[in-house]
Amino acid sequence: MPLAGYDVVLGTQWLATLGPIVWDFSTRTMSFRRHTNAVCWHALAGPVAPALSPTAASSSLLEELLDTFSDVFAEPHGLPPPRSRDHSITLVPGA
């Protein structure tokens, strides 16, 4: 998936190593502790972030995803296959 316009993408596995993180989206800062040091990252001034809006490209990407995983998005027909554990809901008569 293209990420044009972004300088860095922070993965959740790496973020989890930081412990508690304070995000302030009004000042565009991210604060955390690294070992014994307090760290505060500030956003750099730059071009205005692109606005999100549906385009032909995004709709074709959606169509491609739906086609690729058509078995996941298919209409169900009948009951699901038997599982190793079938759960049931016991109904109380007259309830």
Which among 50, 57, 84 is positioned nearest to 1, based on CA atoms?
Answer: 57
pLDDT at residue 3 greater than cutoff 70: no
Which among 11, 14, 27, 75 is positioned nearest to 3, based on CA atoms?
Answer: 11
Token pair recorded at residue 9: 């993408």
- Residues 6+ away with beta carbon under 8 Å from 44: none
Q: What is the pLDDT of residue 6?
A: 65
Token pair recorded at residue 78: 């009948």
Instruction: Give the pLDDT mean for 5-30.
Output: 84
Model confidence band, residue 38 (pLDDT cutoffs 50, 70, 90): very high
For the chain, the structural domain boundaries read 8-46
Rounded Cα distance between 33 and 40, Å, is: 9
Q: Which has the higher per-residue pLDDT, 39 or 53?
A: 39
Instruction: Give the pLDDT mean for 71-95.
Output: 84
Q: Which has the higher per-residue pLDDT, 52 or 61?
A: 61
